[in-house]
């Protein structure tokens, strides 16, 4: 396999495809990586994923088949370790250094002499080999983070400090969380109540501004319902007479702009549109209860029920 082209290599995104290299080159790469981890542990500025290089592909050797070594875990660690406030930063880097040491021993390197911290000859030779590898073409086109990446990182760090402070405040004052939660809940309920009141005000305003022609039509409709009620009463169909007389009452009040015209309302909905302190509320409530009992509840009706409904109708007409 061939390595990723240098033009596509950026900081934080080393070449993903393994680059074939001999066993000695792989050993030198391991030593360089261990030195990079040590430098990163001492200075967050040295935590550069691009310096870790691309993945390795080791050809067959010593009766062993070829294999790939991928460094995505190390790239991620370098990115995270740039933050000096990262939790367990030192422990994570030490674990990475130990892991690289294990890989060095598996590759046949004496970690007591060939690591970056050893000043002996073996290290100097390994350092020269590592420098030779890192001087390759895949490391010559590395670009720094752009202005947007830097601004994004600063914004994320700033938000992290803010929310981290809120979390610490919540631990010091556990009562603060419920207070904020119930405060937002009360604000939401208050907003809902204001919205309902404004909708009712708009409906009342629309009723007041209703066109005179619509009012006249409501009054004519009320007369038709009243006539139907008289015809049913003459036929002693008291149930139908009460039903027609109720709708004559509703259309009569509608013509007085007590509510906006809407043919799909139920009797209870009409009653709720009348303010409790209005003079029409008490008689309309009694008429609504009577209609529900006789028309919807199928109770038998008599002349006395019709006369009672007629009295309520006359009271509402004259109110």
287 and 185 within one domain: no
Residues 133 and 32 in one domain: yes
Residue 1 lies in a domain: no
- Is the same domain home to 28 and 132? yes
Predicted local distance difference test score (pLDDT) of residue 57? 83
User: Over the stretch 44-102, which tens digit does the pLDDT of each residue have?
Assistant: 888 988 888 888 888 887 777 888 888 889 888 888 888 888 888 889 999 998 888 88
The Cβ-side half-sphere exposure at 283, using a 13 Å CA radius, reads 19
The residue out of 127, 143, 159 marking a domain boundary is 143
Q: Are residues 133 and 68 both part of a single domain?
A: yes
Q: Are residues 158 and 217 in the same domain?
A: no
Query: Is residue 310 in a domain?
Result: yes
Domain count, the chain: 4
Give yes or no: residues 23 and 115 share one domain: yes
Nearest partner of 75 among 34, 47, 103, judged by Cα:
47
Structural domain range at position 87 = 6-143
Which residues, other chains included, contact 123 with Cβ-Cβ below 8 Å and sequence gap of 6+?
31, 113, 114, 115, 116
CATH number of the domain at 274, please.
1.20.120
**Tokens at 258, concatenated:** 């007590």
Residues 182, 137, single domain; the answer is no
Mean pLDDT throughout 98-107?
86
User: Backbone dihedral region of 108: left (phi > 0), alpha (psi from -120 to 50 degrees) or beta?
Assistant: left
pLDDT at position 240 is 94
**Residues 96 and 149 both lie in one domain:** no
Among 143, 159, 183, where does a domain finish?
A: 143
In a domain, 71, yes or no: yes
Q: Do 63 and 156 belong together in one domain? A: no
The answer on 112 and 67 residing in a single domain is: yes
Same domain, 156 and 250: no
Cβ atoms of 54 and 18 closer than 8 Å: yes
Whether residue 82 is found in the same domain as residue 183 = no
Per-residue pLDDT, averaged over 135-164, amounts to: 74
pTM: 0.35
Is 280 a member of any domain? yes
Q: Is the pLDDT of residue 144 over 60?
A: yes
pLDDT for res 139: 63
Assigned domain for 246 exists? yes
């Amino acid at each position: 396999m061939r390595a990723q082209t240098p033009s596509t290599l950026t900081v934080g995104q080393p070449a993903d495809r393994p680059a074939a290299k001999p066993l000695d080159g792989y050993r030198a790469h391991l030593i360089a990586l261990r030195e990079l981890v040590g430098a990163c542990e001492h200075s967050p500025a040295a935590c550069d994923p691009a310096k870790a290089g691309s993945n390795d592909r080791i050809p067959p050797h010593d009766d062993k088949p070829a294999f790939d070594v991928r460094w995505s875990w190390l790239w991620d660690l370098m990115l995270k370790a740039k933050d000096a406030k990262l939790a367990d930063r030192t422990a994570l880097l030490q674990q990475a250094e130990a892991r690289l040491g294990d890989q060095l021993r598996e590759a046949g390197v004496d970690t007591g002499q060939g690591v970056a911290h050893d000043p002996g000859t073996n290290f100097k030779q390994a350092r020269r080999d590592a420098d030779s590898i890192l001087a390759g073409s895949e490391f010559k086109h590395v670009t720094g983070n752009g202005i947007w990446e830097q601004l994004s990182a600063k914004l994320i760090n700033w938000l992290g400090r803010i929310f981290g402070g809120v979390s610490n405040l919540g631990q010091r004052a556990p009562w603060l969380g419920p207070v904020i939660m119930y405060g937002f809940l009360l604000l939401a309920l208050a907003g809902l109540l204001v919205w309902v009141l404004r909708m009712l005000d708009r409906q009342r305003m629309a009723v007041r501004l209703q066109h005179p022609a619509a009012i006249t039509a409501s009054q004519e409709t009320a007369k038709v319902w009243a006539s139907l009620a008289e015809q049913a009463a003459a036929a002693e169909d008291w149930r139908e007479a009460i039903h027609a007389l109720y709708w004559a009452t509703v259309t009569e009040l509608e013509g007085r702009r007590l509510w906006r015209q809407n043919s799909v309302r139920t009797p209870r909905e009409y009653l709720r549109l009348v303010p409790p302190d209005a003079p029409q509320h008490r008689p309309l409530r009694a008429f609504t209860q009577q209609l529900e009992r006789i028309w919807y509840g199928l109770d038998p009706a008599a002349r006395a029920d019709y006369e009672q409904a007629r009295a309520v109708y006359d009271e509402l007409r004259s109110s």
